Amino acid sequence: MLRHNITLKTPSIFHNDIQINALLIIAPPAVLEYVVVHELCHIQIRNHSPQFWALVADHLPDYKTPHHWLKQHGNRLMQGF
């Protein structure tokens, strides 16, 4: 489900539902892919432990590039660029 949230982070996954901020559509495709993989991995591991990041890397080996982009541009993205 896409939503226009006021924060960049997606809501907690209480019932394995994933909500993605609609503004991610204007981000590079790799960033949207990273966020989806990140949130899907939270279904299995609900924290940011080393095991979580290993799982993310298993599914998206180059996750650090879009992760870094999001850290650099996330605030501007939330303003609609």
Q: What is the dihedral of CA 42, 80, 26, 73, to 10 degrees?
A: -60
- The per-residue pLDDT for 6 is 41
| Average predicted confidence (pLDDT) for the chain | 84
Which residues form the domain of 78? Answer: 24-81
Report if residue 8 sits inside a domain: no
Q: What is the DSSP letter of 20?
A: E
Q: Residue 20 phi/psi, 5° resolution?
A: -115, 135
State how many domains the chain has. 1
Q: Is the pLDDT of residue 29 over 70?
A: yes
Q: Is the pLDDT of residue 46 over 70?
A: yes
- The per-residue pLDDT for 2 is 44
- The per-residue pLDDT for 68 is 97
Stretch (H or E) spanning 2: strand 2-3
Does residue 55 contact residue 43 with C-beta atoms inside 8 Å?
A: no
Report if residue 64 sits inside a domain: yes
Report if residue 12 sits inside a domain: no
Report if residue 72 sits inside a domain: yes
Report if residue 66 sits inside a domain: yes
User: No. of H helices and E strands in the chain?
Assistant: 3, 2
Report if residue 2 sits inside a domain: no
Q: Is the pLDDT of residue 21 over 60?
A: yes
